Amino acid sequence: MPALTDHFTLANGVEIPKIGFGTWQIPDGTEAYDSVAAALQAGYRHIDTARAYGNEASVGRAIRDSGIARDQIFVTTKLPAEIKDYDQAKASFEKTITALDMDYVDLYLIHAPWPWSEHGADYREGNIAVWRAMEEIQEAGRARSIGVSNFSVQDIESLVGASKTVPQVNQIRYFVGHTQNEVTEYCKAHDILVEGYSPLATGAILDNADVRSIADKYGKSVAQLCIRYLLEKDVLPLPKTTTPSRIVENADVDFTISADDIAFLDGLVDTAR
């Protein structure tokens, strides 16, 4: 089945389209609206946004105006990393749902285990508190699935040890040369879907000569090769582009990378330079 119309199935049975359209750094307004509209037009049915991206309103409007039934589009958004309090988490979800102008989201994630300005700090208790809010949001049917992002094995274990729900997803930075094997393998073993953000290293991998040499073998662009690499690993890619031709290109990834070439790509380091 073409990757664009195929899906993974989360531990709770929810189906999630295999390629998601990323919207980080796409300004609210015309740019976010037009790129989400173009992605939907190109056949994407999975959009990844976040309260922190500031573009939920435009994303929601583009989805509504598309004429595609709401239940045919998978919408992910995220609780800001700075919020580590139950009441604030509940309040933030209301803001999100109002901005998106939707009754529910398909996936709601804790954006990071720590506020961005305190990378690595211990917010175990705060994460447990906001997770309880998210469990209630899911139980109320307002988020079909819930998960985390940027969580390490330890972060996940702290959360799971103190709550009743295992995250259905962990969204992490993942690209050729940056595959975070420990947390990826842990997630797979615990039926937590790994979503790979920045599959093109936010653009930094596109000039890598080694990656290009493999892409050339298949007559594919570096971007297509990099996105396909994640699919070969059963990691859900979330490429971002505001360029209409690239929106189409990034979804045209129905080819197979040989085991030898995967092994070569697995061995690459420092690809994002």
Please list the active-site residues.
53
Residues 46, 125: Cα–Cα separation, whole Å:
31
In angstroms, give the least distance from the CB of 105 to ligand NAP: 14
Kind plus residue range of the DSSP H or E element containing 34: helix 30-42
Among 150, 170, 208, 271, binds ligand NAP (CB under 6 A): 150
**In Å, how far from its chain's centre is CA 201?**
14
Tokens standing for 98? 């109002």
Position 198 contacts ligand NAP (CB under 6 A):
yes
Position 221 contacts ligand NAP (CB under 6 A):
yes
Nearer CB in complex with ligand NAP: 164/243: 243
At residue 248, the 3 state secondary structure works out as helix
Position 22 contacts ligand NAP (CB under 6 A):
yes
Nearer CB in complex with ligand NAP: 158/250: 250
Closest CA to 222 of 170, 259, 183, 177: 177
Position 203 contacts ligand NAP (CB under 6 A):
yes
Q: How far is CA 158 from CA 31, 152, 185, in A?
A: 39, 10, 17
Radius of gyration of the chain (CA): 18
Among 96, 158, 171, 271, binds ligand NAP (CB under 6 A): 171
Q: Which of residues 223-262 bind ligand NAP (CB under 6 A)?
A: 223, 238-243, 246, 249-250
Total residues in contact with ligand NAP, by rule CB under 6 A: 28
Length reported for the chain: 273
In angstroms, give the least distance from the CB of 240 to ligand NAP: 3
